[in-house]
């Protein structure tokens, strides 16, 4: 499955890019690699894919394999919330203001 996600992701498919982010974040058939996960999630998020924006917000909020970064977390969660992504809206209320 990863092969087909990679093929689709390289053609700028944000859903496939987000799936690859998940694969690398969780280590599904690959060695877990937070940096690769973030790169794929950012590719999707920069195209406006709300789920990827939300997931990046979580990664930065929780420090999943990286340092906690509330600024980056808020940035991505706000973008997802602007698209009415409910989980992002809920999490924003619990983050420190910047």
The whole-number pLDDT of residue 66 equals: 94
The whole-number pLDDT of residue 3 equals: 87
The whole-number pLDDT of residue 22 equals: 97
| pLDDT(97) > 60 | no
Q: Which domains does the chain have, with CATH numbers?
A: 2-92 (1.25.40.10)
Averaged pLDDT of the chain: 93
Burial of residue 11 (number of CB atoms within 10 Å: 0-12, 13-18, 19+)? exposed
Length of the chain measured in residues? 98
Report pTM: 0.90
Predicted confidence (pLDDT) per residue in 3-51, tens digit: 899 999 999 999 999 999 999 999 999 999 999 999 999 999 999 999 9
């Amino acid at each position: 499955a990863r092969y087909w996600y990679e093929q689709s992701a390289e053609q700028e498919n944000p859903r496939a890019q987000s799936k690859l982010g998940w694969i690398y974040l969780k280590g599904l058939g690959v060695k877990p690699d937070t940096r690769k996960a973030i790169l794929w999630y950012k590719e999707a998020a920069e195209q406006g894919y709300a789920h990827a924006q939300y997931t990046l917000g979580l990664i930065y909020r929780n420090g999943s394999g990286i340092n906690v970064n509330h600024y980056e977390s808020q940035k991505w969660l706000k973008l997802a919330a602007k698209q009415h992504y409910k989980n992002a809206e809920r999490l924003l209320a619990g983050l420190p203001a910047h």
